[in-house]
Structure 1
Amino acid sequence: MTPHTTFAIIGAGSAAEAHARALSGCADASLAAVWSTGRDRLTAFAQRHRTRAAGGLDEILSDDGIDAVIIATPSGTHEAYVVQAAAAGKHVVCEKPLDVTTAAAQRAAAACARACVLLYPVFQLRFWQAVTRIRGALARGELGRLLHVRTSVTCNRGESYYRSGWRGTWALDGGGCLMNQAIHAVDLMHAIAGDASEVCGWTAERDHPGLAVEDTACALMRFASGAFGLVQATTATRCEIPLRCEVTGTRGTVALEGDRITRWNLGEDAGAAMGDPGGDHGGDHGTAQSHDPLRALLLDAAAAMRGASPAVTAEDGVRAVGTVCAIYTHAQSQDRRSSSTRADEALGQARA
């Protein structure tokens, strides 16, 4: 019988809601408590999800019946909560990003390593069935030598979204659409292509007057393997499109939109499987709706707490923050003598 894992959530916003819903469908994991600094929101959350509203953070951290905490607070507060949880001997599942700077993310990872507890960044796109099949094809050599990875993040975020008090700030959000939304795409590119050795990027505020951070961005990446990457992101459009990713190797191209394969042109199959490839090439359309990537992530984290190898590591979380920060370094640079920034220090820190 699989041991039962008990979680508590720190935070009571939209990310916390997603985690509570994911846990509600788990046979081998459950939500034992929630705590938030906002009392009214905390009470409503606890009632909605039929769980205990803790009287304080110490109540959760001192509860021996809680195995792990899920940190779902504003990004710039993550390190502080991770450090406290690790000191209390709790495993940690932390929403993306681990924090808003590479140094803070590294400190969070180091605190968990010292305490011998798990730090598991929330990058649930790795659990999309389409992503699993593309990574499998790449690992088996079916794509040949990797050439390009291209991602696009297209989101509709209105003025009310940025009036939350912390979103769209450097201190608590760490940036705009790159750090908040497109960090999922950056992690996916790392999962497919490995470490980035060189980046350059451009950011702009295009449709949110007065916003301190970017609502539109584009970045280029060169990976240690020699492959190239492109990530485009915006929260300035009126439409919402699932994340798109296209992977090209010397033997062909595969692509996804959300958890659905939209192109599968490889070797002898080139041109024969486009749109809905079916078979082993695409997601299982009959079960895709019942597959919850976040639930799969939480169950993988629970298994890792018992000694299994995690699908997402603390190093992955640090690396994603480091790459985004390196892109910002280039975008904000006043040095126009070079068309790109190697950002060796930021990227090196992310891999340290």
Structure 2
Amino acid sequence: MNETGFNIAVVGAGMASAPHLASLLALQDRATVRHVVARSEERAGAFARRLPHARVTLDLDTALADEHVDGVLLLTPPNTHLELGARIAAAGKHLLVEKPIDVTTSRARELVALCDARGIVAAAVLQHRTRDASRKLRELLDARALGEIHSASIAVPWWRPQSYYDEPGRGTLARDGGGVLMTQAIHTLDLFLWLVGLPDDVFCYAITSRAHRMECEDTVAGVMKYRNGCVASLHASTAIFPGFPERIEISGSKGSATLGGGRLIVQYMDGAVLEEGETASLGSGANPMAFSHHAHQAVIDNFIEAATHGAEPVASLRSALDVHLLIDALIASSANYRPMPVNPGSSS
């Protein structure tokens, strides 16, 4: 870190950049944005205008050549992450990348390996892990407060209008790497895996409903099975009007936990009840940006802390590979009409 504090270059200034801008404005006492890089000078200028030290450039190499830049926030479309991330890693800059890591697991693995080889801190914007309710539930599960886990469910009942998918590239394999699983449900799936780990195998149906015209899936129904016999159901969709908060339910031998919309409720068999967090809007409806920036702020703050002190970030890029493996298995199960193992060695 430089004497002037942690210095950041932001790469990408599209729709997904809005909560990041709000977060960076709130973190100005900790970090300085020195460069905003984008293909559109107009978009980059609109982002940089509110940041007093930010310079606009269309050239990534200009930002990477700045010796004062400590880390890069990569907010470009998923299919650009490997190539841009490789250049960022080669320059020795720490990397925080929007989800997913890239459009395929093999490309995601390659980026993780490049970051590891350079010894940089690399993290993903998987902000659900940072919420107070999420962290409390993980603490309880680590302490086995719910006992032996025997069943769980994941629901992402969201809505997106057709106009959302009419944007070129959206919901395609080439740009996004998939549909509802890779773009919307990835946050809740990642959080679930962060809480309970990868299952052994899955069975799934992934379809494109009549609600949308798009290349990839907008609705998924499946089940995951764990070695201890626990089963978890999954329903994720962007075809459920008007859209409802995502929800995770976990049941064990001592009680059950419900985590939804940023709020945790735990009900123990002895009658005790624990509540944590506050219900918040999470972009489940027609406006995908209708949510607070505070979880994004927490991810960026954690990234700065990890990069400054050489610590493990809350959502390391390597740990984010797990959700890619799960999504691969779910899609493969649907394509092959049979259960599929979740293979940590797969490279699709």
- TM-score using structure 1 length: 0.88
Equivalent residue, structure 1, for 2:299: 297
Distance 1:224 1:69 in 2: 39
The residue aligned with 1:93 is 96
Deviation string, structure 1 residues 255-290 (Cα, Å, up to 9, x no partner): 0211112x32113235xx3xxx5xxx32268xxx99
Aligned equivalent of 1:164 = 167
Post-superposition offset of 1:223: 3.2
Distance 1:133 1:291, change over 3 A: farther
Quick one: structure 1 residues 269 and 199, their matched pair in 2 at CA, closer, same or farther if it must change by over 3 Å? same
Do the aligned partners of residues 55 and 321 (structure 1) sit closer, same or farther apart at CA in structure 2, a change above 3 Å counting?
Answer: same
Rounded to whole Å, the distance in 1 between the matches of 2:211 and 2:244 is 19
Cα gap change, 1:7/1:226 in structure 2, threshold over 3 Å: closer, same or farther?
Answer: farther
Q: How high is the sequence identity, in percent, across the aligned residues?
A: 30
The whole-number CA distance in structure 2 between the counterparts of 1:97 and 1:316 is 12
Aligned residue for 1:179?
A: 182
Unaligned runs of 5+ in 1: none
Distance 1:242 1:57, change over 3 A: same
Q: Is the 2:180–2:237 Cα contact (8 Å) retained in structure 1?
A: yes
Shift of 1:134: 1.1
Query: Residue type matched to 1:213 in 2?
Result: C
Partner of 1:282: 276
Task: State the partner residue of 1:45.
Answer: 47
* Distance in 1 between residues matched to 2:230 and 2:190, nearest whole Å: 15
Establish whether residue 349 from structure 1 lines up as the match of residue 346 from structure 2.
yes
> 1:228 pairs with 220, 228, 231, which one?
231
CA distance in 2, matches of 1:207, 1:45: 37
Note if contact 2:10-2:72 (Cα within 8 Å) is conserved in structure 1: yes
Residue in structure 2 matching 1:57, options 57, 60, 71: 60
Distance, in Å, in 1 between the alignment partners of 2:60 and 2:186 is: 28
Alignment of 1:123-142 (within 5 A): 123-142=126-145
AA aligned opposite 1:24: L
Instruction: Determine the C-alpha separation between the residues in 2 that align with 1:225 and 1:94.
Output: 34
- Judge conservation of contact 1:20–1:31 (CA < 8 Å) in 2: no
Structure 1 residue identity aligned to 2:22: R
Q: Does 1:81 align with 2:84?
A: yes
Q: Which residue of 2 aligns with 1:340?
A: 339
Contact 1:10 1:34 in 2 (8 A): yes
- Give CA deviations for 1:127-177 in whole Å, capped at 9, x if unaligned: 111111111111122100122231111222112211221211111111100
1:118 is matched with which residue? 121
What's the RMSD between the two structures over aligned residues?
2.3
Q: Give the Å deviation of 1:224.
A: 4.5
Q: Is the 8 A contact 1:195 1:224 kept in 2?
A: no
Q: Are 1:9 and 1:16, in contact at CA under 8 Å, matched by a contact in 2? A: no
> CA, structure 1 residues 209+293, in 2 after alignment: closer, same or farther (shift >3 Å)?
closer
Q: Distance in 2 between matches of 1:322 and 1:85?
A: 25
Would you say the 8 A contact 1:149–1:189 is kept in 2? Answer: no
Q: What letter is aligned with 2:155?
A: S
1:9 aligns with 2:10: yes
For residue 291 of structure 1, report the CA deviation from its aligned partner: 8.6
- The size of the alignment, in residue pairs, is 332
Whether contact under 8 Å (1:112, 1:118) holds in the other structure is yes
2:25 maps to what in 1? 24
**2:184, 2:212 → 1: CA distance?**
19
Secondary structure at the aligned position of 1:142 is classed as: coil
1:269 equivalent in structure 2: 271
Partner in structure 2 of residue 193 of structure 1:
196
- 1:240 equivalent in structure 2: 243
Q: Which moved more, 1:131-140 or 1:88-97?
A: 131-140
SS of residue in 2 equivalent to 1:316: coil
One of 214, 217, 231 as aligned partner of 2:217: 214
- Give the secondary structure class of the aligned counterpart of 1:173: coil
What is the SS of the residue equivalent to 1:94?
A: strand
Alignment partner of 1:7: what SS?
A: strand
Instruction: Find the aligned partners of 1:123 and 1:209 in 2 and give their Cα distance.
Output: 26
Gaps of 5+ in 2: 280-290
AA matched with 1:311? V
Q: Is the 8 A contact 2:165 2:213 kept in 1?
A: no
